[in-house]
Amino acid sequence: MDQPPRPFKDYQDEIYLDGLRGVVPKFPMTYAELESRAQSALPPSVLSYVAGGAGDERTQNANVTAFDRWGLIPRMFVGASRRDLSVDLFGMTLPSPLFMAPIGVLGICTQDGHGDLATARAAARTGVPMIASTLSADPMESVAAELGETPGFFQLYTPTDRALAESLVRRAEKSGFKAIVVTMDTWITGWRPRDLATSNFPQLRGHCLANYTSDPVFRALLPTDPEHDMQSAVLKWVQVFGNPLTWDDLPWLRSLTSLPLIVKGLCHPEDVRRARDGGVDGIYCSNHGGRQANGGLPALDVLPAVVEAADGLPVLFDSGVRGGADIVKAIALGASAVGVGRPYAYGLGIGGTDGVTHVLRSLLAEADLLMAVDGYPTLADLTPEALQRVL
């Protein structure tokens, strides 16, 4: 870690001091500007893939506006001059509840094609854990090597070939990832009009298969090695990519690893109870940022019921987080840790590792300062009573 992650508000001081020296901030200070800078920086097909969602994107947009329906009630006489945002999760103490949600195809967000490595370096700098996607442009071993002291989790898209799934998990364990996150909501991709309009999906595939083409089990399924025949590798990948798992598969999934097992995409309390009864270690409440199904509830709206059903199991949350206040609100509604997706991909697109670092540090500084100003010095102080529903 080349920069200490705390106190988070130091980032504000750094920016002000730069301002006094006449240095104009290199990176955007608002989410609106971040989005607009990414729109200019990223090639149109990359932008439509990253920014887009399912259907007319109403659920994707509702994920964001859901946060506006909650307001944090300020408390005074608290003396919140020192804050502690640290969180204990799966036996680790993390500097804050923020983590980077898994994003596949990150390679296309940077010109050199190594967006996964650039993101891992930002994790190393900030102490913000990265969940590395199965769909990366560099193999997981290389991604893990860039994480430094910061914990990384490996996100598994469970293939139809069980031996391949086992091989990916063994490699993740060997690489030093600290948990396995199995994504349940994307064994098939949803209806994504922006991707259909640009026909970008087939092109993207060539940029995210490093974990497959470097895998001995996957390679054994191919007629020729992928270095000479990438097309066969892509076709095979299409065949094996997504496994529509059922509850009958949960014992197998659980048996895959002794690392903490987290299931991503759970929004229904009954699913949460069954997963908990099946021995998972964490629930990840998310609607994939509205990329998979349109017409659903905003993820934030299902969070309280998920937390209740999780009955003490850690609940990770993402979908719609755009600022520090959103992190605070999700924690108050019961999340143990809060993930951010598109914003860091935009940071990556506009400034590589520095851009991601900026996005993460801004989010943390904003959350930290909000907790200072509103008198909530620790995460434990952030309970549902800290919020009021906006009617």
Ligand X SMILES: CC(C)CC(=O)C(=O)O
Ligand Y SMILES: Cc1cc2nc3c(=O)[nH]c(=O)nc-3n(C[C@H](O)[C@H](O)[C@H](O)COP(=O)(O)O)c2cc1C
129 binds ligand Y (CB under 6 A): no
Interface pick for ligand X out of 86, 189, 214, 232 (rule CB under 6 A):
189
Question: CB 77 → ligand Y: shortest distance, Å?
Answer: 35
Q: Which of 318, 366, 374, 381 binds ligand Y (CB under 6 A)?
A: 318
Q: Which does 264 bind (CB under 5 to 8 A by kind): ligand X, ligand Y, none?
A: ligand Y
Q: Is 10 exposed, middle or buried (0-12, 13-18, 19+ CB in 10 A)?
A: middle
Which of ligand X, ligand Y, none interacts with 189 (beta carbon under 5 to 8 A by kind)?
ligand X
Furthest C-alpha separation in the chain = 70
Angle between helices 31-41 and 342-373 (to 10 degrees): 160
What number of chain residues touch ligand X (CB under 6 A)?
6
- Is residue 282 within the footprint of ligand Y (CB under 6 A)? no
Residue 104 near ligand X by CB under 6 A? yes
What are the phi and psi torsion angles at 159 (to 5°)?
A: -75, 165
Q: Which does 319 bind (CB under 5 to 8 A by kind): ligand Y, ligand X, none?
A: ligand Y
- Given ligand X, ligand Y, none, residue 101, with its beta carbon under 5 to 8 Å by kind, binds ligand Y
Nearer to ligand Y, 37 or 291 (CB): 291
Nearer to ligand X, 15 or 285 (CB): 285
Q: What is the DSSP letter of 248?
A: G
Catalytic, 358? Answer no
Ramachandran angles phi, psi of 283, nearest 5°: -110, 140
* Residue 133 or 150 having the CB closest to ligand Y: 133
**291, 322, 342, 358: residue in contact with ligand X (rule CB under 6 A):** 291
Query: Residue 114 interacts with ligand Y (CB under 6 A)?
Result: no
| Region of 132 on the Ramachandran plot (φ > 0 left; ψ -120 to 50 alpha; else beta) | beta
* Pick from 130, 116, 127: nearest CA to 150: 127
CA distance 45 to 197: 9
By the rule CB under 6 A, 342 interacts with ligand Y? yes
* Residue 340 binding ligand X, by CB under 6 A: no
Per residue in 94-117, is it b (16+ CB within 10 Å) or e — as a string? bbbbbbbbbbbbbbbbbeeebbbb
102 binds ligand Y (CB under 6 A): yes
Catalytic residue among 114, 207, 288, 358: 288
Residue 75 CB, shortest distance to ligand Y, in Å, is 28
Q: Which stretch binds ligand Y (CB under 6 A): 26-34, 38-46, 305-313, 315-323?
A: 315-323
Select 116 or 368, whichever has its Cβ closest to ligand Y: 116
Residue with token string 């490093």: 210
State yes or no: residue 198 binds ligand X (CB under 6 A).
Answer: no
By CB under 6 A, residue 101 contacts ligand Y: yes
Radius of gyration of the chain (CA): 20
Asked if omega into 7 is within 30° of 0 (cis), the reply is yes
Compute the distance between CA of residue 200 and CA of residue 203 in angstroms, rounded to an integer: 5
Quote the least distance from Cβ 206 to ligand Y, whole Å.
15
DSSP secondary structure of 3-40:
S---STTHHHHHHHHHHHTTPPPSS-SSHHHHHHHHHH
Closest C-alpha to 313, from 339, 282, 269: 282
- CA of residue 358 relative to chain centroid, distance: 16
Give yes or no for residue 195 binding ligand Y (CB under 6 A). no
84 contact partners, CB below 8 Å, separation of at least 6: 377, 378, 379
Could you tell me the smallest distance in angstroms from the CB atom of residue 182 to ligand X?
A: 13
| String marking each residue 10-49 x if it binds ligand Y according to CB under 6 A | ---------------------------------------x
Distance CA 23, CA 90 (A): 41
Kindly tell me which of 106 and 360 has the beta carbon lying closer to ligand X: 106
State yes or no: residue 135 binds ligand X (CB under 6 A). yes
- List residues with catalytic annotation: 288
Instruction: Point out which residues bind ligand Y (CB under 6 A).
Output: 49-50, 63, 101-104, 133, 135, 155, 183, 264, 286, 288-289, 291, 318-321, 340-342, 345
Instruction: Point out which residues bind ligand X (CB under 6 A).
Output: 104, 135, 186, 189, 288, 291
